[in-house]
C-alpha cells in the first residue's frame, strides 16, 4: 500500500487531457513520452501497413494507454493512437514517472507490477493470434469484451482479429445462426 504522501506525490504528476473523436493522441514518428489511463472514451492503437490499417489494441475507461515500446526505448512510434469517441485520459510524463520511481520505492514497485501486467496482456494477445482461429478469437471478444463489439466499427474489429470484413461477417453469421 502507498502512503498518503506517496499517493499525493503521484497524483500531483497526473494531468487530465481531453480529446475529441478523431484526435490523434500519438502520431507515427513521434516518441511516446507518456503513459495514461483512460478516464472516458474509446481509443485505438493502429498502424498503416501497405495502405491498410492494422488495429493492435482498443482501450476503454480504466485501461492503460501508451505506446509502451516507444516509451521504454525512446524510439519513434510506428503506430498511431486515435480517439474513437470524445473523452479524456489521465497522463503521466516519462520524466515524472522516473522521478517518482527514484524517490519512492513503493511507487517503483507499483510500476514494476504494472509492467508485468502489461506483459501478460501482450503475451495473451500473441498466444491468441498464434493458437486460436479467427472464430475462436471473435467468441473470446464476445465473452470478454462485449462493449468493444457494440461501440467499435466492424471493419476495425475485423482488423483487430486479423481477418477481412467479409470473413468477420461470415464468422458472425455462423455464430448467430447456430
The DSSP-derived string for 92-131 is EEHHHHHHHHHH-HHHHHHHHHHHHHHHHHHHHHHHHHHH
Mean pLDDT score, 93-111: 96
Of 43 and 125, the one with more pLDDT: 43
Find where cell 493492435 sits.
56
Query: How many CA atoms lie within 13 Å of 170's alpha carbon, on the beta-carbon side?
Result: 6
CB atoms within 10 A of CB 134: 17
Instruction: Write the CB contacts of 161 (distance below 8 Å, at least 6 apart in sequence).
Output: 134, 137, 138, 141, 168
pLDDT band at 68 (very low <50, low <70, confident <90, very high): very high
Look at residue 148 in the predicted model and tell me its pLDDT: 72
Note the pLDDT tens digit of each residue in 21-62.
999 999 999 999 999 999 999 999 999 999 999 999 999 999
Look at residue 81 in the predicted model and tell me its pLDDT: 98
pLDDT at 145 over 80: no
Of 16 and 140, the one with more pLDDT: 16
Look at residue 147 in the predicted model and tell me its pLDDT: 73
pLDDT at 106 over 80: yes
pLDDT at 122 over 90: no
Amino acid at each position: 500500500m502507498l502512503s498518503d504522501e506517496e499517493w499525493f506525490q503521484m497524483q500531483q504528476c497526473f494531468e487530465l487531457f481531453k480529446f475529441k473523436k478523431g484526435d490523434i493522441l500519438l502520431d507515427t514518428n513521434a516518441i511516446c513520452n507518456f503513459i495514461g489511463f483512460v478516464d472516458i472514451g474509446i481509443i485505438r492503437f493502429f498502424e498503416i501497413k501497405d495502405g491498410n490499417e492494422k488495429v493492435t489494441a482498443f482501450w476503454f475507461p480504466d485501461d492503460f494507454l501508451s505506446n509502451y515500446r516507444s516509451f521504454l526505448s525512446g524510439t519513434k512510434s510506428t503506430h498511431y493512437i486515435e480517439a474513437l469517441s470524445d473523452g479524456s485520459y489521465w497522463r503521466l510524463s516519462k520524466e515524472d514517472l522516473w522521478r517518482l520511481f527514484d524517490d519512492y520505492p513503493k511507487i517503483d514497485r507499483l510500476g514494476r507490477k504494472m509492467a508485468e501486467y502489461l506483459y501478460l496482456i501482450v503475451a495473451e494477445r500473441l498466444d491468441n493470434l498464434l493458437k486460436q482461429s479467427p472464430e475462436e478469437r471473435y467468441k473470446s471478444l464476445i465473452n470478454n469484451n462485449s462493449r468493444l463489439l457494440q461501440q467499435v466499427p466492424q471493419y476495425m474489429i475485423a482488423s483487430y482479429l486479423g481477418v477481412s470484413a467479409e470473413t468477420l461477417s461470415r464468422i458472425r453469421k455462423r455464430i448467430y445462426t447456430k
